[in-house]
Chains A and B, each alone.
Chain A
Amino acid sequence: MSEIRSEQTQAHKPSSSKLNNRIEMLDVLLAILLTGFAVAIILPFLNVVAVSFVTQQEYLKSSILLFPKSFTFENYKSLFEDGRIWTGYRTTLLLLTLGLPLNMFLTTSMAYGLSRPSFPFKRFFIYFVVLTMLFSGGIIPMYLLMKELSLINTIWSVVLVYGINSFYLIIMMNNFTTIPISLMESAKLDGAGEWRILFKIILPLSLPIIATMTLFYAVDRWNEWFNAMIFIRKGDLTVLQLALRSIVIDSQISQQLNISNVQTDKQFSEGLKMAAVIVSMLPIMCVFPMLQKHFVKGMLVGAIKA
């Protein structure tokens, strides 16, 4: 998408700069407004980082905490001693290793099947998918279904509940249709079956969209919490997001209880909380700036459809 954008801006910018090359009031105003919103997004994160690295004394002393004067790793130490974040990381990584391959297998095979030019009942199967985007049963029947399949309190409930995202499926299907049919026809003449064509021809040609979809599914799995909250009531299978939530809520309660004797508290709950926030978003924070282009590309392929 960024390529298209820069081409386009270059296409009509030269003529505009011919007319007025100077910086107008409008440019200054724009820069201020847009930077303002960016600052409004960055400052809270900066604040979180700062709070996670300071002691309670410094936190209480400074009203605007963005660049702490002294650093301490005490908050992180007590976070890792607490242990819940480890459980969260373990469960979420397990969820990713089991769930991502399932997502990609189900989505690519079905998307490729549906992208084939024509076969009986093709329309029916496409409506079969589209209907799930318009109407869903919701959480209650899903919970009862999981109960009847005896998947409650197992990781499989959360793995299976999110097998295919219909939007991603349709994005992928549309992408596969852009591959020239002659490629598949000639492979067929060589005696290759559909599965072979999928793995030997389609997937190597569609690596960008495969990468983007994997990324989308990975982020969704990483951020999974609602289904896990409903289906898993076992402490040692808490997903990362819920581990974070339990730490945040715990420290809110302890804050309320300690309101009279804040100073005597040896653990700095606000700092612990923010350390947990940092640890839970670290992977996305590291990966996002590099892969932002892919995220945007994937979304735009979908947006054109909508």
Chain B
Amino acid sequence: MENTHVVKNDSSLISRVLKSKEIYFLILPGVIWFLIFAYVPMYGLSLAFKTYKANLGIFGSPWIGLENFTYVFRDPAFLESVWRTLWINLGRILFQFPFPILLALLLNELRMNRYKKAIQTVYTFPHFLSWIIVSSVLINSLDMQGLVNGIIRLLGGDPINFLGNTQIFRPLLYITDNWKSAGWTMIIYLAAITGIDTEQYESAQLDGATRLQIMRYITLPGIQSTIVVMLILTVGNLMNSGFDQIFNISNAATAKAGEILDMYIYRITFQSAADFSFSSAVSLFRSVINFALLLFADRVCKWLGAEGLFPSMKKKVKVQR
């Protein structure tokens, strides 16, 4: 791929390679691991254009062209799951994405430093638990007999079936995901806030700006580039976020409402008679769309004048040399 422009070196290349052979020995174990467990599976997606024969394996199965895709696009469940994934995850951007930013802005204004640290520990903790644990904890509280409905009853309301209602399902996803990970994402924004020039704050205070004005006109613009990068990453994940969560938090009543693309792939591959070529076609479709979305989001951000995802990465790579 990228190596074509590297091979423009003079005849000393071989001697330079020989001189750095120790470095190659250092990276060799890692490279072998990447080749077997990242690049072979990547090549394995070529099954999308083959018909899988167990005795011939990934490499030996015969090519059949685009046939698998014609079946994929004829499956209504596939198309529905694509739209559902997009809608659920676009909702994440609208309703879930701003929350950690808000949290960081608020926590930054809190003056009690010790309390701030304690609160930060509480916020970040659930991120380190698996969705299996988190969903067990939350389902216990959101049950008909659970804590939340207990409080609702105490206040004189009628208990709500949070878990079995397709109408509540999406808000449930956004809220539980924020419950688990908003605190962790908040840390990134908090770090960005500490990077803002303190002189700006001082002069704003001298000019008599209120704290809300400072938050709005200095802190928020100050973390804009971080927000943009996070947004790009979120858009790049539009097609493949949420499997762990939905797999554990949905139940028989909400299974249909939660069948995102990854759930669909899981269902057709591992829960029914598997057609690996068909699943690979779906999987390839997903990866390509994801990749395209990431590039698209990056372009849009650059077009809007913000620094995208890749310039910083390239800069970093250059610094290494």
Interface residues of A, Cβ cutoff 8 Å to B: 1-2, 4-6, 8-9, 11-13, 15-16, 19, 24, 26-27, 30-31, 33-35, 37-38, 40-45, 47-48, 51, 60, 63-66, 105-107, 109-110, 112-132, 134-145, 148, 160-161, 163-164, 169, 173-174, 177, 193-195, 198, 219, 223, 225-226, 230, 241-242, 244-245, 248, 270, 273-274, 276-277, 280-281, 284-285, 288-289, 292, 295-296, 299-300, 303-306
Q: Does chain A have a CB within 8 A of B201?
A: yes
Q: Which residue of B lies closest to A142 (CB)?
A: B41
In B16-49, which residues have CB < 8 Å from any A CB? 16-17, 20, 22-27, 29-31, 33-34, 36-45, 47
Q: Does chain A have a CB within 8 A of B224?
A: no
Closest CB pairs A-B (n = 9): A141-B44, A110-B30, A137-B41, A113-B26, A113-B27, A119-B20, A63-B150, A223-B130, A141-B41
Cα separation A36 to B320 with both chains bound (whole Å): 45
Q: Which residue of A lies closest to B196 (CB)?
A: A8
Q: Does chain A have a CB within 8 A of B151?
A: yes
Q: Does chain A have a CB within 8 A of B141?
A: yes
Q: Does chain A have a CB within 8 A of B198?
A: yes
Q: Is the CB of A140 within 8 A of B280?
A: yes
Q: Is the CB of A193 within 8 A of B22?
A: yes
Q: Is the CB of B136 within 8 A of A119?
A: no
Cα separation A141 to B59 with both chains bound (whole Å): 11
Cα separation A306 to B34 with both chains bound (whole Å): 21
Cα separation A29 to B24 with both chains bound (whole Å): 58
Subset of 18 A-B contacts with CB under 8 Å: A26-B212, A27-B111, A31-B115, A34-B110, A37-B103, A40-B179, A114-B27, A120-B16, A124-B3, A141-B47, A142-B41, A177-B320, A194-B23, A195-B22, A270-B140, A284-B128, A303-B191, A306-B309
Q: Is the CB of B138 within 8 A of A44?
A: yes
Cα separation A113 to B309 with both chains bound (whole Å): 25
Of the listed residues B47, B117, B129, B150, the one surrounded by the most CB atoms of chain A closer than 10 A to its CB is B129
Grouping DSSP codes into helix (H, G, I), strand (E, B) and loop, the B interface class, with mixed when no group exceeds half, is helix
Q: Is the CB of A299 within 8 A of B188?
A: yes
Residues of B within 8 A of A136 (CB): 38, 41-42, 287
Cα separation A51 to B146 with both chains bound (whole Å): 10
B: number of interface residues (CB 8 Å): 109
Residues of B within 8 A of A128 (CB): 31, 34
Q: Is the CB of A274 within 8 A of B140?
A: yes
Residues of B within 8 A of A284 (CB): 128-129
Q: Does chain A have a CB within 8 A of B273?
A: no
In B118-132, which residues have CB < 8 Å from any A CB? 119-126, 128-130, 132
Grouping DSSP codes into helix (H, G, I), strand (E, B) and loop, the A interface class, with mixed when no group exceeds half, is helix
Q: Is the CB of A299 within 8 A of B23?
A: no
Q: Does chain A have a CB within 8 A of B286?
A: yes
Q: Is the CB of B140 within 8 A of A44?
A: yes
Q: Is the CB of A141 within 8 A of B45?
A: yes
Q: A65-B147, A194-B26 are in contact. Are A34 and B106 (CB under 8 A)?
A: yes
Cα separation A40 to B119 with both chains bound (whole Å): 12
A110, A277, A295: the one contacting B136 at CB < 8 Å is A277
Q: Is the CB of A140 within 8 A of B321?
A: no
Q: Is the CB of A134 within 8 A of B291?
A: yes
Q: A43-B141, A106-B33 are in contact. Are A30 and B276 (CB under 8 A)?
A: no
Q: Is the CB of B117 within 8 A of A2?
A: yes
Q: A244-B136, A306-B233 are in contact. Are A300 and B187 (CB under 8 A)?
A: yes
Cα separation A64 to B145 with both chains bound (whole Å): 9
Q: Does chain A have a CB within 8 A of B194?
A: yes
B23 to chain A, nearest CB (A): 5
Q: Is the CB of A163 within 8 A of B37?
A: yes
Q: Does chain A have a CB within 8 A of B137?
A: yes
Q: Is the CB of B128 within 8 A of A41?
A: no
Q: Which residue of A lies closest to B240 (CB)?
A: A138
Q: Is the CB of B121 within 8 A of A138?
A: no
Residues of B within 8 A of A225 (CB): 130, 132
Q: A64-B147, A140-B280 are in contact. Are A296 and B187 (CB under 8 A)?
A: yes
Of the listed residues A143, A144, A219, A242, the one surrounded by the most CB atoms of chain B closer than 10 A to its CB is A144
Cα separation A64 to B155 with both chains bound (whole Å): 12
Cα separation A149 to B270 with both chains bound (whole Å): 19
Residues of A within 8 A of B272 (CB): none
Q: Is the CB of A9 within 8 A of B113?
A: yes
Q: Is the CB of B280 within 8 A of A109?
A: no
Q: Does chain A have a CB within 8 A of B153?
A: yes
B133, B183, B276: the one contacting A140 at CB < 8 Å is B276
Q: A120-B17, A299-B184 are in contact. Are A109 and B132 (CB under 8 A)?
A: no
B10 to chain A, nearest CB (A): 11
A265 to chain B, nearest CB (A): 15
